[in-house]
Structures are given as C-alpha cells and as structure tokens.
Structure 1
C-alpha cells in the first residue's frame, strides 16, 4: 500500500520492537556486574543489574578476607513480592541482545499508552496534510528528500535533515493559499463596493454638455426612462442609465420626453441630455402635420430617407395591401389612395437606411391603433354612418374645412346635418371646396361655379350627394374627437369670412348669403 519500501522506506532491522515499527533508542545504561563479579559466589541475587538500589560495602572476616555475604539490601525484592522477576525489579534476560533495549518495560500499572508506530511519513500537524503542502510529490514522499535508505535512528522527529526544505515548501504552499484567499477577499471587496455604489453611491456621469461630436439617437415608441437611458448610453451620449433616470426624475418636465429621433452630443452629463431632449432643437423626427394629404407625406419620406422623388408613392401604390390596413379599410370603390387617412399625424423616428415600407407601416399602425382606441366601429353606427371608414372620412373633412380647433365640432355638425335625408337646404350635397381641391391636387378657395358643375368626379361633392369615396387627408386627434362629438346647434352653413383663419356658421340660407357677402367684401 505504501510502495516497495513499506512504512519506513527501509527493511526492518533486528527483532520487531514491541513499541512500534522501529527499534527504540535509549541512552546506554551503566553495567554494575563487572564491579562485583570477583566478590560473589556466582549468584547475583538480582543486584548486578539493579540500577536504582544503593550498594552496601562488602563485609570482611578477621583475616581480612571477604565473608561472601552482604548486608541486607533494603531495596531487595522479597520472595513473596508479586513483582519479583518483573521488569525493573530483578534480573531479567536480555530480550533484545543489545544495550539499546534498556531500560526494561515499566510495570503494567505504570505503563504509558504505547505510541503510534512511527514512520518516515510526516503527515503534518493535522495528520492529513496533502503532499502538496509538505513539499512532496503526489504519493506523499518528498521528491528530493534523498533519505529512503538512511537508518531510522538518524531520522528522529525534529532532527530530520530535510526539515528546512520542508519548512520552505510548506511556507510556499501557505503563501499560495494566502494569495488565493487574498484574491478572493479582494474580489468580494470589489463587488461589495460595486453593490454599495449601485445602491447608495452616485451613478457615474459625464460632466458638461458634450464633447462636440454630434450623434443621432432613435427613441422607440413607448420607451420609459430606463429604455431611453439605454439608447443614449449605447450611443455614447451618457455614461450610465442610472444617472439619466435620476436626472429625468429631478427635472419637472422630464416625463415629457417622447419617442423620436434626437440630435445630441457624445459625453453629455445626464442633466444636460434631459434638458436638450426637452428642447425642440434636438428633435430630428419626421413630423407629419394634421391634415396633410398622403402625397405630401410621401414627399417628406423620400426627402428624409434620401430617396428619389416618387419612390415612396410608388411603394404605397403597389404594396398598400401589405402595410397593415384593418379589414374595414379595404375594398372601397373609387378610392384614389387606399392609404389616405391612415398616415397618422405624429412624430416618427425616420432616418437614412430605413425602407419606405417600414415607415409607412409605422404610420398605418399608429392610425389603426388610434381608431381602435376611439372605438370607431361601434361609434360609426350610432352616428348614422356605414362603418368606421365613413367616420374617418368625416373627420378628414372636419380637419380640411376647419380653420381652428374651435371650429371642429361645429364643422362636424354641418357634415352630419347635410347628410340627413331630411335636409331641405342642400338636399344631401356637402358642397365642400376641400373635396374638389383634393381631386385636383390643389388648395384653391376661389373656384368658379362652371368649373365645379362641369366636373362629375366622385370626389366632387357639388355634383355628388353624400360623402366622397374616402378620406381626403389625415385627421388629427382634435378632428377625430369632433367627428365623434358634434355640436347640436342646428348649423348647416359656414363661410371663411376673412379667407384665412376666421370661419362663421349659419343655420339658414339667408344667413349664409350675408356671410358670403362679408367674404366677398374682404
């Protein structure tokens, strides 16, 4: 089990010692029988080997000769002594054949526990020390000990020739352990510091308003503070998300940061980034204004994407079915542009590299989402319309004819009143210049009666009853709300009396003629 050399790395020498795997070593005892051998009678009486009893002087007769007897030894063993002939009390045979065997064993009552067999393998203080820590190889031996054949008596504990080498190696092993533990403690300390900083320390932040290098950052729709901070950090604008979130929370207007494209600088402090994002100067979004017709939206997209003019319009014409229109927005007759009314007015993150289809899908999705939130399908029926498509069309008319938001609800009532079958003023003719301008692709307010009456296009509401085939623009939030909540004041006529910003309303044809005279005079 321990190799070819056995326990001690050498063969046992002489009879097996009862004390262990190696012979015992004791100081040589003085021999007393040589001193008394010439005086005795051949019987030793146990004195010659007793080391511990004091010796009495010999007795002589009157002639000066020794008598052959000795005074009683006070320490001699009596015949009934149970320990006679036991080790240490009388003459004992030499079981070991060498002086190293002395002193003989102690009596059983005084014997100490026999020590564990000693070997030349030093397991260390914990009796389980691995060879690595004692400087030896994996099988427990010291690879450069060089003492396998050295006698055991020259390798006493504490006097081994390789002691210093082992101590040095043990010291090195301890040093390794200390370094490993020290490294672990250092790691724990570092992460503990980071944890403290994350929870209680100030977040890392840049100083100042940037290094002058501009960068464009796109913030997706619905992004909160952390999502915005992540985009800014990714672009190198801020140093940490936590710093941005803290700066946004401390700014009273911080929650007003919207999605879109922003032009910022790299290495800005979080506070300066928040402040700039709240300023219109940073906004680099594509803004679709309320009431814009699709033709104008297509041009704006081409310009933003750096595309040849007409590219987006062609995509809309050929791929409109794949852009996400709701089911109720398709398969309508005589519609000039199926996407009209679905490029929702808003701010969009549009930058070079994007495809026109992707931009159009964003706009259609925003419009569809808005119409769904406003519950257009249900509300259309309650307003006497044939579905949400007509409701969007009404909103587009309100947006086109109203000059201000204050006009929208009155304008909405005009539309609904003129659509009624009971209308005896216009007999369901809307007579809106905006619809005629749409089919012409113009924006005139001075249209001759002959021109209007000669055009039979379905979008001409002077010659066709009811609503046009579809929306004539993209209505905004106020126009949509007005289409859902018209006034109930009996308005059926209106005139932009100043031709620009002021719209006045009338209930009867006679009132309308007065407003028309006012317009002509202006």
Structure 2
C-alpha cells in the first residue's frame, strides 16, 4: 500500500542496499531527499507513512514530488519505478512539496479542514470535479422499519463502507435501496420465524388435545384375515401388552387397548402366554379374543405332571414330529440352564430324565415357529428361580438330606402321593420318617407305587407283588432303600412348601382308602393294616 514503499523500500528500511546500483542518487539542483521506502513514522507523521495522493489529467493516482509509473497489484496501486530523488523542484506555492503531510501530525490543515480523509488537493493539482449525478426520483415514503430510517447501525456501516471505498480508490456508497433490500430480507426472516413458532405451538397444542381429550387411535371391526402370534411374558401390565399388540399390527394404539381392558369385564385378567390374533383388530375385539382360551397358543404344565407329557404338548403346539422335544431335552439338557447342584448328584448315571422336576408348573407360550429349546429354557429358568427363592440348599441339611436336588425329589413324591392340599405336609413327614436310619417299621424302604409307575410310565394303583419284586430298577422303592435317583414329576408350590415344612405327628403310613382322593394316615403297622382292609373293601379287592 501507500506507506510501505514497495519491496525495495522495505529492504532499505531494514538495512540492505537499495536497488539499482546500490547507491542513493542525488539531484544537483536540490538537497538530498529520503528514499520513498525510508519514510517511516519517526521521519514523517503522515497517514500511511507517505505523501498525499493526487490525480493527473488521465485520472491516474500520483504522489506529490514522486512522478512514477503505477500498476495494479492485488487490488491496490503500488509504485513500479525506482525509488530515487524527486525529479522536480518543490513548488513554492505548494506546501505539500516542502514539508511532511499534516494529517495526524501537529501542523494545521492547509485548507483549515477537519483532517478528514482523503484530504483536499493542493491548488492547481486537484482532480477534476465529477459531473453531478442526476437526482433520483423521490422514493415513496415508507415506515422506518422497512427503509432503515433512524438506524444508527446502518449510518455507521455506510460511513465505514464509504471510507474504505475512498481509500481503495473504488467502491460505491451503499444506497438506500440496498438497505431496504437487506431490511426486507430481515423482515421476511422475522415473519418466517414467527410463522414457524405459531405452527409449532399449534401442532403441540393439537397433540396435547389428542392425548388428553380425543379418543385413542383405534381400528374398527374384528380384523383382517392375516393372523399373528403375540407372546405375552409374565408380569407385564396393560400398557406393555398394548405396546406388544401394536408392534405386531394387532391394535392401532396401546392407549385404545388399555381403555378396552378397563371397559370389558375381566379384561384385566389376561394371562401370560402366546395368543393367535388377527391383524388390525379393534382394541375391544382383541381383548375379547385374548380372553377366549381358543386363541391361546400355550403349553400348561400342571403340578406333578411328568416331563413326558410336557414334551408331547410342546410337539403338538409347535406342530413338530412326535419325540422332537424329548430328543432336544435328552441331547441339550446341559445348555438349558439347570442349576449346578442338579447335574452333580450320586445318581447322575441312573436318572431317567435330567430335566425332571425342573419344568416348573405354569403357562408358557408355545406357537408354531418357536423352538423347543427356547420353551424348555423358560420352564427351567422359572424352576431355578423358585428353588433359589426357597433356599433349598440351606434347608436340605436341616431336614436330613444331602443336597437341594434330594429336596426337589421329596417334593415330587409329596406331589405324586398326596391327593389334597391338606395331605401334603403329612405326606412329607411320612417320607422323612421312613428315610431315618432308626426306621424299624419299613427299614428305610419308601414302598411308593408312584416311583414304580414313573419308571413304567403308568399310573396304576394295582401292582402285583410279583411284578414289583421282579424289577430291580433304582426307581423301584419296594426293593431299594432311600429316595429314587431323582424327581418323578414337577412339584408345584404347595408341595415344595410342604417338603420344607412337614408335620411332626409321627406319621409313617398312608392309604388312599377310596382309591381316589381320600387319603388316611397311620403311625403303626397295625393301624396301616386296618386302613388297607378299608381300601380293599372299597375297591372290590
């Protein structure tokens, strides 16, 4: 720019030899003048560290005392000729030719002005005045918000832009039309923002109304022909059920389902399980169908049921070939979640089914497309959870047993031999009394028909002595002392509680005197014989 003197002036200023011969040149008619690049602030207090510019007749910018060629470089004008002495003597009538520029210094302005930039030109060297521009047609008066009137920031911006344009020798003064265009855009942005805010508030207001007062979205009718199976786990409430149905395409919203549940009698009694439902059903239709047992794709394990019956039910529900689930249980039982104490017993090699006693009674989802192992895992997980909650391992020792596995076996015997809830605690005492080493009545033989029937896969109460005595299986408790190798069924909650808390009345014998539900108990062998006679009379033996 004007004050840096170009590349050569910078080199001279930092102590290097000036260009073009390396020596300063002198004019014989006038005293030595400093080179252009040596005019620093300490020597000349002018603006930009140089002379004030003026313009020749062709409009080129020049400096007083420095006639030199100009060229445009990166948008600014810089000197291209050598920086030597002034070739002309100073003009006596030109104070700028003999002294430094006064702008910003201590000397007064030649024209008595305010020191504004650019300064007025010396007499005789002013740039020709530009012809006045024709006056623009008067604009229609508008509100100051749209015209920019009264905006101090716009005035400052206009002044700054005007000053920079003059300094660069180019640029135009911002017009009111430009300001109006900018303010018009700003107005449009404000309108759009306000419109968006109003629209957003309206949307959320509508959603609030819909959530609070409008009916929940719902389908109409009993659904379309397409069906889907929905699994409802244990412990979930209406909202969770509704969300699962919505995700499966059964109902349109969870809120509609919950509302229908509350309106329909028994709607809140929907149980866990798998349900075969239609898609796009009204919420009321879905609730009614879920209350109908025909829609439920479940396997129900009843207390005391043997695993063989559970496997058959799973095959049927999953529409698998007979024996498929039993094969999975036999081959994969170690990966189905059994507790460690169930797989490490003294009877491990003699157990008929390692999962027996661990398919906990309850209702489990079982629909076509599901895998047998996933259903078995859920049953085993429920059993493990219940057994852990009951503290079987800690209580087994106090009852004279070796481990929790034996306690589950006792519970299965109680469940199989007891006929009613009231029988269970007495039946548990019979088992524990017969296992005692001091038992001289049966000599630690349980003599239970249920263990032999489990071995044979039957439920026969009339077993001949010849048949019993001929079978040497460890499940034959008429011949083998102590407990069978493992559970003989899946005990329910009542049987487990009874095994943990037996009576202490000295019961040693029992007989189902009516052959069905009426079980009577005895303490001595004599009492037992009388009960046996009663049974024979009732059954026709």
Q: TM-score, normalised by structure 1?
A: 0.64
Partner of 2:276: 263
| 1:437 to 2:453 alignment | yes
Partner of 2:519: 503
Q: Which blocks of at least 5 consecutive residues in structure 1 are unaligned?
A: 1-100, 102-121, 131-138, 140-151
CA distance in 2, matches of 1:203, 1:128: 56
CA distance in 2, matches of 1:361, 1:277: 25
- Cα distance, 1:482 vs structure 2: 1.5
Stretch of structure 1 that moved more, 374-383 or 499-508? 499-508
Task: Tell me the alpha carbon deviations over residues 453-475 of structure 1, each in whole angstroms, 9 at most, x when there is no partner.
Answer: 12221111000111101101111
Partner of 2:71: none
SS at match of 1:352: coil
Q: Is the 8 A contact 1:263 1:284 kept in 2?
A: yes
Cα pair distance change 1:490/1:276, threshold 3 Å: farther
CA distance in 2, matches of 1:212, 1:497: 55
Partner of 2:243: 230
Q: Is the 8 A contact 2:216 2:253 kept in 1?
A: yes
Cα pair distance change 1:196/1:464, threshold 3 Å: same
SS at match of 2:422: helix
Q: Is the 8 A contact 1:317 1:337 kept in 2?
A: yes
| 1:453 to 2:469 alignment | yes
Q: Is the 8 A contact 1:260 1:348 kept in 2?
A: yes
Q: Is the 8 A contact 1:381 1:387 kept in 2?
A: yes
CA distance in 2, matches of 1:225, 1:308: 36
| 1:491 to 2:502 alignment | no
| 1:196 to 2:212 alignment | no
SS at match of 1:410: helix
Q: TM-score, normalised by structure 2?
A: 0.62
Partner of 1:379: 395
SS at match of 1:416: helix
| 1:245 to 2:261 alignment | no
Q: Is the 8 A contact 1:325 1:368 kept in 2?
A: yes
SS at match of 1:444: coil
Q: In the TM superposition, what are the counterparts of 1:20-419 in structure 2 within 5 Å? A: 124-125=148-149, 127=151, 178=191, 181-206=194-219, 210=223, 214-248=227-261, 253-332=266-345, 333=347, 334-419=350-435
Stretch of structure 1 that moved more, 230-239 or 427-436? 230-239
Q: Is the 8 A contact 1:302 1:309 kept in 2?
A: yes
SS at match of 1:464: coil
- Cα distance, 1:318 vs structure 2: 1.5
Q: Is the 8 A contact 2:304 2:490 kept in 1?
A: yes
CA distance in 2, matches of 1:434, 1:480: 17
Q: Is the 8 A contact 1:123 1:129 kept in 2?
A: no
CA distance in 1, matches of 2:323, 2:375: 15
| 1:464 to 2:477 alignment | no
CA distance in 1, matches of 2:252, 2:481: 63
- Cα distance, 1:253 vs structure 2: 4.8
SS at match of 1:504: strand
- Cα distance, 1:173 vs structure 2: 9.3
CA distance in 2, matches of 1:369, 1:517: 44
> Radius of gyration: which is bigger?
1
Partner of 1:79: none
Q: Is the 8 A contact 1:260 1:349 kept in 2?
A: yes
- Cα distance, 1:487 vs structure 2: 2.0
SS at match of 1:405: coil
- Cα distance, 1:429 vs structure 2: 0.6
SS at match of 1:297: helix
- Cα distance, 1:237 vs structure 2: 2.7
CA distance in 2, matches of 1:276, 1:374: 37
Q: Which blocks of at least 5 consecutive residues in structure 2 are unaligned?
A: 1-131, 133-145, 155-160, 162-172
Cα pair distance change 1:458/1:262, threshold 3 Å: same
- Cα distance, 1:424 vs structure 2: 1.8
Stretch of structure 1 that moved more, 318-327 or 499-508? 499-508
CA distance in 2, matches of 1:247, 1:377: 46
Q: How many residues align?
A: 379
Task: Tell me the alpha carbon deviations over residues 10-61 of structure 1, each in whole angstroms, 9 at most, x when there is no partner.
Answer: xxxxxxxxxxxxxxxxxxxxxxxxxxxxxxxxxxxxxxxxxxxxxxxxxxxx
